[in-house]
Amino acid sequence: MKNKEIMKMVCELLLAGCFVVPLSGCGELSVEVVTPPDKLVASEGPSSDSTAPSNEVADIVVVHDEIQTPEEEEILPEADFNDHKTEEAKELLPSEQAVVKSVTASGPVALDPSWEYASYSKINSGHAVMYRAEVGRKDIVIGVNAGHGTNGGTKVKTFSHPDMSPKFTGGTNAKGAVESMAVSSGMTFNDGSREAVVALATARKLRDLLLANGYDVLMVRDDDDVQLDNIARTVICNNLANCHISIHFDGDGLDHDKGCFFISTPDGLKSSVPVAFVWEKSEALGRSLVEGLRGKGCKINGNGAMAIDLTQTSYSTVPSVDIELGNQTTPHDDANLARFAEGLLDGINGYFLK
Ligand SMILES: [Zn+2]
């Protein structure tokens, strides 16, 4: 009898295509975890628990439990999420699909220490902020990361890559660096403005445009200082956004504005995990952003791409782009920043609505 019962249970589980696992550290919670067929393979980290199944869905449930009131939960139209999943399931990566079920409320979101690669982060006491569109909802979350703006970030080092291999190219950190600055301070414009401040002003304009166009926005940095290093920022986007766009201006020392470009994936990084699973999508998003900017009359540098080995790229499991909107000579008055934001919106539309 007992064996029969066990067999029956196994069959039911197989038919359902899912397993119910207890959430470690969450006591009574038990959550359905659907293992996608093309699940990304986690690399072995220094202290990450690589034996646990990927549980983006389960973990996110915990996060929105923290920020969501029961009232909000009740009025959520669950059918919307299901519809969305059905429509887009073939297009989205597993980590992107997780978003569909998870993002349910506006408000602050912290790094969940159980998320993949979260253990590599060293600065993570701050929080990002989720903004939900109220009109024309698209159920697409854009991670907007105003670059820099983490006090003390230059004094802390994190692994350049999840597999602890050295950087393939130079950039803010030298080629060959196994550890990189957790967050660099950014450059200073020739007029004395700080890149971090201008990047945040641009990010806020982009946020408002995105919300008006039905996109949800995950503002990775919503203030002058956020205590989230580049890895924490990336992991939060991996789990709560459909893409990750960081906004920068290049400190290149030139005396003229060389124009906009995105940071593309260096060849050496393309076979690394998790880069191998997502870099082509990141390139497509980057190219689309550049074309959006070009369409608004923004100057474009060369072919619009420059390959640099970034921490952001190395840890991203969703399409992820560092967009450089010029350099220390670039005009950054209100009108010009608005033009950048409009160009980026066009690029985002080009990528998600094509
Ligand atoms: Zn920068």
As a whole number of angstroms, the distance between CA 303 and CA 106 comes to 38
Distance 251 CA to ligand 1 centre (A): 7
CA–centroid distance, 249 to ligand 1, in Å, is: 5
Determine the pLDDT at residue 46.
Answer: 36
- Do 48 and 15 share a structural domain? no
How many separate domains does the chain show?
A: 2
Is residue 71 located within the same domain as residue 8? Answer: no
Q: Are residues 207 and 234 in the same domain?
A: yes
Kindly report the pTM of this predicted structure.
Answer: 0.73
C-alpha to C-alpha distance for 44 and 191, rounded to whole angstroms: 45
For residue 95, how far is its CA from the centre of ligand 1 (angstroms)?
Answer: 26
> 29: CA distance to ligand 1 center in Å?
41
Block mean pLDDT (10 aa), the chain, length 354:
50 42 32 33 34 34 34 36 38 50 74 97 97 94 98 96 90 87 97 98 98 97 98 98 98 97 97 97 98 98 96 97 98 98 98 92
Residue 55 has a pLDDT of: 34
Q: How far is the CA of 233 from the centre of ligand 1 (A)?
A: 14
**Shared-domain flag, residues 188 and 251:** yes
H helix runs in the chain, sequence order: 2-16, 56-67, 70-75, 78-88, 94-102, 195-212, 230-240, 279-295, 311-315, 334-352
Task: Quote the domain boundaries for residue 191.
Answer: 40-354
Is beta strand 141-146 parallel, antiparallel or unpaired with respect to 128-131?
A: unpaired
On whether both 138 and 153 belong to a single domain, the answer is yes
Query: Is residue 169 domain-shared with residue 252, that is, in the same domain?
Result: yes
How much is the pLDDT for 171? 83
| One domain for residues 126 and 14 | no
246 CA → ligand 1 middle, Å = 9
The reply to whether 91 and 205 lie within a common domain is yes
Same domain? 74 vs 2: no
Residues 239 and 346 placed together within one structural domain of the fold: yes
Judge if 22 and 75 occupy the same domain.
no
The enclosing domain of 250 has a CATH number of 3.40.630.40
Query: What is the model's pLDDT at position 3?
Result: 52
| Helix and strand counts by DSSP (H, E) for the chain | 10, 12
Cα of 330 from ligand 1 centre, angstroms: 13
Decide if 215 contacts 348 (C-beta within 8 A). Answer: yes
CA atoms within 13 A on the CB side of 199: 36
- Measure 187 CA to ligand 1 centroid, in angstroms: 7
- Do 171 and 262 lie in one domain? The reply is yes
